[in-house]
Structure 1
Amino acid sequence: MKLALAQCNTRRHAVRDRALVQFSILAGLRACELAALTVGAVYDDIGAPRTSVLLHRAQTKGNSARRVYFNTELQRLLKQYRSHVADRASDAPLFATRFGTAFSANTMSQLFLDIYHSCGLHGCSSHSGRKTFITRLADKGVAVHLLAALAGHKHISTTQRYISVNEALLTRAVELV
């Protein structure tokens, strides 16, 4: 993901693109959920970042409302990003196209593909940040039922497919014996 973030710095909409990649990693949101975020959902009336946001049924893939929590790092990022969206109405998209309109889920997915492909990360998609989010939490010992709730999955078997097994995870696991 470091390659993708570095690539974002070279792009025409560097601030927005970098924030999108970081948001996907730090909150585990799907492309359709990122596209649906509004300024008012993420910032309060005085412009401070919220600690969480409620995604309504129509904004999620599973058609189930869920709360998404913002960790300290994401709140810090949102404080920096605020100046980028300060002139927008509360119902305006948090991440806008070059025309100032909301992304569609498909266009958001294409944007992620373009970012990843332009830095040589083939096989990555708009779900890569989400997969990183879930894997990092699993790697730190977060229980799968909590991961499922954070990801908005109804079944833990869905969440388990996102978790990448790696050397560090295996090494720590055997030390628990």
Structure 2
Amino acid sequence: MPQAQTLNENQLRRVLHYCRTRRHFARDQTIVLFSFYAGLRASELAALKHADVFDSEGEVRNQFTLSTSQSKGGRARTVYLNQRLRKALADYAQQQHSMPHQPLFCSQKGGHFSANTMCQLFLDVYKAVGLNNASSHSGRRTFITRLATAGVGVRVLAELAGHSHISTTQRYIDVNSDQLTAAVELL
């Protein structure tokens, strides 16, 4: 099975632009941004609660911990939120009236998404913009690849991704012609 497509900045912009046309635009756009800027899996996004991301005053946390029940492999891990994602979450919160124990992202039925339904949301969005090789893992692969391209070491990447082994993380890093061109220019 081929790996999920990594997206460039133009493709991400197309995805976000399309999300603005959807019925639950703020939710869908925030889900996509979470995938690309925190590298979370679909199952982890589906399991998030409002209190995971927001403190008791409703402010976006700089970081939070995914519990063992929320993450893959039964390992808790800290998720760090960059400035762009924190802003998107603050904007999203202004449109929501969530209680701390409620899902961060509610399905159309009002409860948590299932992992499969979250995966389907990604597939629907990517298919609508013509990204047929993209999946719910595309944001995660793009997150890891972009950080690797920026020079972040594989040990740090493994910690951010929640991988026990750096060999797993290395499989996520996509190599493209822009990176190869930039590499030879270092000589």
TM normalised by structure 2 equals: 0.91
Q: Which runs of 5+ in 1 are unaligned?
A: none
Which residue of structure 1 aligns with residue 172 of structure 2? 162
1:71 aligns with 2:82: yes
2: distance between equivalents of 1:151 and 1:70? Answer: 13
1:132 aligns with 2:171: no
Residue from 87, 90, 110 that aligns with 2:120: 110
- Per the TM alignment, residue 5 of structure 1 is displaced from its structure 2 partner at its CA by 1.1
1:172 aligns with 2:182: yes
1:58 aligns with 2:97: no
Which residue of structure 1 aligns with residue 4 of structure 2? none
Which residue of structure 1 aligns with residue 18 of structure 2? 7
Q: RMSD over aligned Cα, in angstroms?
A: 1.0
1:151 aligns with 2:131: no
Runs of 4+ with deviation above 6 angstroms: none
User: How many positions carry a matched residue from both structures?
Assistant: 176
Residue from 19, 23, 33 that aligns with 2:30: 19
Q: Which runs of 5+ in 2 are unaligned?
A: 1-11
Which residue of structure 1 aligns with residue 48 of structure 2? 37
Between stretches 14-23 and 163-172, larger displacement belongs to: 163-172
Letter in 1 for 2:20: N
1: distance between equivalents of 2:53 and 2:95? Answer: 13
- Per the TM alignment, residue 90 of structure 1 is displaced from its structure 2 partner at its CA by 0.2
- Per the TM alignment, residue 7 of structure 1 is displaced from its structure 2 partner at its CA by 1.2
Residue from 120, 141, 152 that aligns with 1:142: 152
Residue from 102, 106, 111 that aligns with 1:96: 106
Between stretches 8-17 and 162-171, larger displacement belongs to: 162-171
Task: State, as a whole percentage, how many aligned pairs show the same letter.
Answer: 53
- Per the TM alignment, residue 172 of structure 1 is displaced from its structure 2 partner at its CA by 2.5
TM normalised by structure 1 equals: 0.96
2: distance between equivalents of 1:148 and 1:30? Answer: 14
1: distance between equivalents of 2:179 and 2:73? Answer: 29
Q: Deviations over 1:80-110 (max 9, x none)?
A: 111122x211010111011211001111111
2: distance between equivalents of 1:2 and 1:132? Answer: 14
1: distance between equivalents of 2:126 and 2:164? Answer: 29
Letter in 2 for 1:125: S
